[in-house]
């Protein structure tokens, strides 16, 4: 990393980066290959992140958290993803799952659920997608029916990251089927609530250390005060959450890409062919130059979006989508090129590049496919043009 990359970072952010980088190198990287190979939860990373208060830095101080800003979350996720993408989903999904609460929950609900998260006693997952509702999130069918002081939830949520490991779940469900997005509400569901069960772990191409399962809600009866915000506001809360957390996926993509570039440049300096290091071949020099240039652009966009998230800028929807879309495309390109640069060694599971390439792919898909990001960006831009203001 050049000094230019530090240009906009405060002393505090720079120190955070150094601390996470050291932790990732010493406590997370040594297990990354095994976590992937065994498709097992990265418990060592979890424990190291919790011990150093890096598992959910976004939780406000009043609820026992570090109260760190959006750029701090980005830095943590980027540095962890640089060595192990699966492990970076611990801080990323803790933020995704709990942000609806931070944005729209009652004080009582926040106190009850954010404190255990901040203490490292519980993780949070986010349940929006369903078997029949992926990109069309408002097409969900999970129902929440009021029954006195309770709601009764029934349905299936799919592709839920860290399901089964997390204690808490933010669940979006239909409370008024006569309306589309305006009939959706958000709830906190606990793993121990009777009627909550989990499917078998999905067999995935990458991020194998991060468990992805279905969540089954079978007559799950929860107190009505577990609703996040007012009835009918759940979809807007879910979308507002994604505006902030798509930036964490950009950070993850950025970290994966940087990790791949680091390995590739080290390899080019060491590996000799035709009597000289690969680093002396101009064709390969141009490849690493392009990779680094794209990473620098992705980092600038991601950090800028983090600043927009922190300030709550009017164009955050656009910025979050742009950062996620661009950085994830960069991660896919850079990791593919890194595999190419290492040749057979890039393709071998003895080396980390093929894992990074597999891990990069998901960043173009989750928290909204990159096609959906383009829908989000263009709507935001064209709506702004309609009303004559920049949105």
Catalytic residues, by residue number, are 367
Report if residue 368 touches ligand COS, rule: CB under 6 A.
Answer: yes
Q: Which is nearer to ligand COS, 145 or 239 (CB)?
A: 239
User: Of the ranges 22-30, 63-71, 113-121, 131-139, which one interacts with ligand COS (CB under 6 A)?
Assistant: 131-139
Instruction: Kindly state the smallest distance separating residue 245's Cβ from ligand COS, in Å.
Output: 8
Distance CA 146, CA 167 (A): 24
Instruction: Kindly state the smallest distance separating residue 273's Cβ from ligand COS, in Å.
Output: 43
Instruction: Kindly state the smallest distance separating residue 372's Cβ from ligand COS, in Å.
Output: 5
Distance CA 382, CA 391 (A): 9
Distance CA 71, CA 9 (A): 9
Report if residue 317 touches ligand COS, rule: CB under 6 A.
Answer: yes
For ligand COS, what does the binding mask look like between residues 136 and 155, x meaning CB under 6 A? xxx-----------------
Distance CA 319, CA 316 (A): 5
Report if residue 377 touches ligand COS, rule: CB under 6 A.
Answer: no
Report if residue 130 touches ligand COS, rule: CB under 6 A.
Answer: no
Distance CA 315, CA 298 (A): 18
Q: Which of 272, 295, 300 is nearest to 284 (CA)?
A: 272
Of the chain, the end-to-end C-alpha distance in Å amounts to 33
Report if residue 239 touches ligand COS, rule: CB under 6 A.
Answer: yes
User: Of the ranges 36-44, 57-65, 105-113, 372-380, which one interacts with ligand COS (CB under 6 A)?
Assistant: 372-380
- Residue 127: burial class (beta carbons within 10 Å; 0-12, 13-18, 19+): buried
Report if residue 125 touches ligand COS, rule: CB under 6 A.
Answer: no
Report if residue 212 touches ligand COS, rule: CB under 6 A.
Answer: no
Count residues binding ligand COS (CB under 6 A): 21
Give the total residue count for the chain: 391
Report if residue 181 touches ligand COS, rule: CB under 6 A.
Answer: yes
> Binding ligand COS by CB under 6 A: which of 73, 129, 166, 364?
129
User: Of the ranges 117-125, 147-155, 224-232, 365-373, which one interacts with ligand COS (CB under 6 A)?
Assistant: 365-373
In DSSP notation, 34-83 reads: HHHHHT---HHHHHHHHHTT-S-TTS-GGGTS----HHHHHHHHHHHHTT
Q: Which residue has the tokens 């958290």?
A: 65
> Binding ligand COS by CB under 6 A: which of 60, 64, 182, 277?
182
Give the helix, strand, coil percentages of the chain, each rounded to 5.
60, 15, 25
Instruction: Kindly state the smallest distance separating residue 138's Cβ from ligand COS, in Å.
Output: 4
Helix (H) or strand (E) holding 326: helix 316-342
> Binding ligand COS by CB under 6 A: which of 169, 235, 303, 326?
235
Interaction site with ligand COS (CB under 6 A): 128-129, 135-138, 181-182, 235-236, 239-240, 242-243, 317, 366-368, 372, 375-376
């Amino acid at each position: 990393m050049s000094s230019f990359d530090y240009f906009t970072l405060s002393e505090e952010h720079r120190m955070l980066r150094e601390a996470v980088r050291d932790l990732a190198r010493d406590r997370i990287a040594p297990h990354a290959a095994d976590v992937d190979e065994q498709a097992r939860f990265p418990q060592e990373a979890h424990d190291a992140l919790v011990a150093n208060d890096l598992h959910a830095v976004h939780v406000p101080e009043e609820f026992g958290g570090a109260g760190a800003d959006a750029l701090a979350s980005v830095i943590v996720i980027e540095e962890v993803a640089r060595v192990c993408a699966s492990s970076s989903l611990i801080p990323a999904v803790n933020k995704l799952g709990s942000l609806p609460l931070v944005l729209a929950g009652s004080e009582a609900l926040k106190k009850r659920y954010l404190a255990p998260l901040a203490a490292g006693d519980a993780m949070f997952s986010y349940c929006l997608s369903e078997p029949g509702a992926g990109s069309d999130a408002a097409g969900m069918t999970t129902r929440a029916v009021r029954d006195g002081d309770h709601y009764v939830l029934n349905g299936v949520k799919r592709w839920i990251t860290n399901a089964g490991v997390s204690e808490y779940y933010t669940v979006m469900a239909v409370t008024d089927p006569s309306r589309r997005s305006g009939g959706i509400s958000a709830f906190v569901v606990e793993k121990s609530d009777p009627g909550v069960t989990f499917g078998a772990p999905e067999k995935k191409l990458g991020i194998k250390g991060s468990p992805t399962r279905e969540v089954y809600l079978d007559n799950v009866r929860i107190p009505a005060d577990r609703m996040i915000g007012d009835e009918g506001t759940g979809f807007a809360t879910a979308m507002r959450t994604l505006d902030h957390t798509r930036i964490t996926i950009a950070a993850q993509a950025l970290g994966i890409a940087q990790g791949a570039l680091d390995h590739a440049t080290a390899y080019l300096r060491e590996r000799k062919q035709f009597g000289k290091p690969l680093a002396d071949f101009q064709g390969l020099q141009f490849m690493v130059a392009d990779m680094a240039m794209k990473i620098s652009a992705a980092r600038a966009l991601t950090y800028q979006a983090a600043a927009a998230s922190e300030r709550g800028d009017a164009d955050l929807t656009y910025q979050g989508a742009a950062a996620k879309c661009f950085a994830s495309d960069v991660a896919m390109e850079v990791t593919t090129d890194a595999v190419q640069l290492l040749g057979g060694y890039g393709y071998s599971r003895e080396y980390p590049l093929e894992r990074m390439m597999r891990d990069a792919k998901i960043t173009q898909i989750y928290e909204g496919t990159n096609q959906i990001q383009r829908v989000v960006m263009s709507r935001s831009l064209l709506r702004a043009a309609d009303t004559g203001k920049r949105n």
